[in-house]
C-alpha cells in the first residue's frame, strides 16, 4: 500500500510556497506603482503578459527567467530575488554566462539545475583518475552538499513561516491585534478576469425595465494571495443605472470582524449572507440596489479582517430591489454534497436565488439542476463558485450541489 499522506503534505507545501512567493511578487509590483502586465511584458521583452500574470497568481512557482523578467520590469534587485527564488524552489538559478574553467582541455558540464527541463542529460565528462582529481571531486561534492543543505533549510523555513493553519476554531491570539498596511488589488486592464464572452451590454444610462430578474454581466472580480485588509477592484465594464450589484466573496484563514463594501458613487451595500467554516474560511454576500451608472473610471472598495487570500466577484442583476431571505451552512471535506437545506429560506415564484459556495481542495462545487453557473474564481485549490436561478414556485428553497471539498455556502433570495 502506497502511503499517500507524505505526498499530500508535499503538495500542500509546494502550493503554500508558490502562493507565498506570488504574494512577494505582487508586493514588488505595488511598490513599482502597479504597472499593468502588458506594460511589464513590453519592458521584459521576451516574456508575455499572461506568463507574468501567472507568476503572480500563486498557481505554481515561476521559472527563474520569468521571475527575472518580472523583477526587471518592476525595478527590483535581481541578486536579492535570485536568492529568494532559490530558497522557494530549493535549487540554484542558472547563470546567464557560466564561467569557464581551467584547464581548457576539460570543458564544464551542465548540472541538472543549469539544464532546461526538456534538454536530455549529457554524458559525464571523462577526467583523470589520479589522486589530485579524486581530491578535487571530493572537495566539489562537499561544497555542493553544504550549499544544498543551506538552500533546503531556507526553503523549509520559508514554507513553514507561511504555512496555512488548519486549526478548527480561531483563538484570539491567532489573529493580529493590528492589521498590516492596506493593499490594493493587482487587477488592471486585462489582468483581472473580465466579463464572460457575449455578456449583454446595454447603454450605461438606460434605466432597467425588465419585468423578470436577470443576470446582466460581471463588472469586477479578482482573487489574490495577499495578506491584507483592503482591496480596490476596478470596474472593467459599465454598470447600468437602476440595476443591482451582488458581491460574493471568500476570505481564507480570516479573523473575526466586520466586512464592508463601498463604491466610488457611495452606494450602500448591505450584508445578505455570512458564514465561516471550521478552517476560518468565510463566505459572504453583499448587495446594493438601484445603483447609479458606473463607468470604467469607478471602482469597488472592500475592507475586511486579516486574511491570507481573497476571492471577490461583483455581478450585475436586473429586476431586483430587495433581499428578502438568506440561508447559510458549512461542512467538512470528504462528503459528496453541499447544501443550505438545514436552514431553508422561503421563495416566491419569480424570486431570484443567488447561491455561492467557497471551497478548499477536493472537487470543484457544481450546483444542481436549474442553476446557471457564473465564472468560477480559482486560486490554487481554493474556489468561489456562484450561480443563480429564478424560483418557479412558492415554498422552501436551498442552494444545493456536489463537492468533496471543505465548503461554506450561502443562499440569498432577492425580489
Per-residue pLDDT tens over the stretch 182-207: 333 333 333 333 444 334 444 334 44
Q: Which of 161, 180, 203 is the last residue in one of the domains?
A: 161
Domain that holds residue 255: 172-414
Q: Is 129 within the bounds of a domain? A: no
**Do 182 and 325 share a domain, yes or no?**
yes
Four-residue CA torsion sign, 198, 199, 200, 203:
negative
- Nearest-CA neighbor of 324 among 341, 346, 300, 307? 346
Domain boundary among 131, 161, 191: 161
Angle, helices 64-73/5-31, rounded to nearest 10 degrees:
20
Looking at the structure, tell me whether residues 84 and 194 fall in a common domain: no
pLDDT score at 5 = 56
| Confidence grade of residue 354 (pLDDT, cut at 50, 70, 90) | very high
Residues 159-171 pLDDT 10s? 333 333 333 344 4
187 and 46 in a single domain? The answer is no
Averaged pLDDT for residues 255-259: 92
Q: What is the number of domains present in the chain? A: 2
- Residue 186, SS3? coil
Q: Are 67 and 176 within one domain?
A: no
Does the residue 382 lie in any domain?
yes
Per-residue pLDDT at 344: 80
236 with 324, same domain: the answer is: yes
- Calculate what percentage of the chain has a pLDDT beyond 70: 70
Farthest CA pair distance, the chain: 91
Q: Are residues 177 and 41 in the same domain?
A: no
Judgement on whether residues 30 and 177 belong to the same structural domain of the protein: no
- The residue from 161, 181, 209 where one domain ends is 161
**89's grid cell:** 524552489
Residue 26 maps to which CATH number?
1.10.260
| Residue 282 is assigned to a structural domain of this protein | yes
Q: Do both 179 and 89 map to the same domain?
A: no
Q: For residue 275, which of 244, 246, 248 has the smallest C-alpha distance?
A: 248
Amino acid at each position: 500500500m502506497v502511503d499517500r499522506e507524505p505526498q499530500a503534505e508535499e503538495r500542500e507545501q509546494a502550493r503554500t510556497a508558490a502562493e507565498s512567493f506570488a504574494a512577494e511578487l505582487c508586493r514588488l509590483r505595488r511598490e513599482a506603482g502597479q504597472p499593468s502586465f502588458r506594460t511589464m511584458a513590453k519592458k521584459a521583452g521576451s516574456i508575455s503578459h499572461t506568463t507574468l500574470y501567472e507568476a503572480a497568481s500563486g498557481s505554481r512557482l515561476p521559472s527563474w527567467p520569468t521571475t527575472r523578467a518580472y523583477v526587471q520590469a518592476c525595478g527590483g534587485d535581481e541578486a536579492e530575488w535570485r536568492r529568494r527564488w532559490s530558497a522557494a524552489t530549493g535549487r540554484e538559478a542558472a547563470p546567464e554566462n557560466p564561467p569557464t574553467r581551467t584547464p581548457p582541455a576539460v570543458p564544464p558540464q551542465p548540472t541538472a539545475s543549469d539544464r532546461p527541463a526538456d534538454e536530455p542529460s549529457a554524458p559525464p565528462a571523462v577526467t583523470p583518475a589520479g589522486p589530485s582529481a579524486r581530491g578535487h571531486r571530493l572537495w566539489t561534492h562537499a561544497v555542493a552538499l553544504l550549499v544544498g543543505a543551506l538552500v533546503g533549510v531556507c526553503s523549509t523555513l520559508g514554507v513553514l513561516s507561511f504555512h496555512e493553519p488548519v486549526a478548527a476554531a480561531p483563538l484570539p491570539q491567532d489573529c493580529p491585534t493590528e492589521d498590516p498596511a492596506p493593499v490594493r488589488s493587482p487587477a488592471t486592464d486585462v489582468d483581472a478576469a473580465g466579463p464572460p464572452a457575449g455578456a449583454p451590454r446595454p447603454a450605461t444610462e438606460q434605466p432597467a425595465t425588465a419585468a423578470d430578474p436577470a443576470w446582466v454581466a460581471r463588472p469586477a472580480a479578482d482573487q489574490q494571495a495577499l495578506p491584507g485588509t483592503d482591496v480596490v477592484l476596478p470596474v472593467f465594464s459599465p454598470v447600468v443605472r437602476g440595476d443591482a450589484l451582488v458581491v460574493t466573496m471568500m476570505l481564507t484563514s480570516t479573523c473575526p470582524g466586520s466586512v464592508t463594501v463601498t463604491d466610488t458613487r457611495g452606494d450602500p451595500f448591505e450584508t445578505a449572507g455570512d458564514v465561516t467554516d471550521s478552517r476560518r474560511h468565510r463566505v459572504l454576500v453583499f448587495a446594493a440596489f438601484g445603483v447609479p451608472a458606473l463607468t470604467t473610471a469607478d471602482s469597488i472598495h472592500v475592507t475586511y479582517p486579516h486574511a491570507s487570500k481573497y476571492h471577490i466577484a461583483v455581478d450585475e442583476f436586473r429586476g431586483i430591489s430587495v433581499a428578502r431571505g438568506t440561508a447559510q451552512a458549512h461542512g467538512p471535506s470528504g462528503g459528496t454534497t453541499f447544501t443550505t437545506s438545514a436552514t431553508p429560506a422561503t421563495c416566491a415564484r419569480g424570486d431570484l436565488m443567488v447561491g455561492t459556495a467557497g471551497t478548499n481542495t477536493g472537487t470543484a462545487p457544481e450546483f444542481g439542476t436549474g442553476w446557471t453557473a457564473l465564472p468560477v474564481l480559482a486560486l490554487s485549490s481554493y474556489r468561489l463558485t456562484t450561480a443563480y436561478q429564478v424560483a418557479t414556485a412558492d415554498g422552501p428553497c436551498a442552494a444545493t450541489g456536489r463537492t468533496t471539498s471543505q465548503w461554506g455556502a450561502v443562499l440569498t433570495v432577492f425580489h
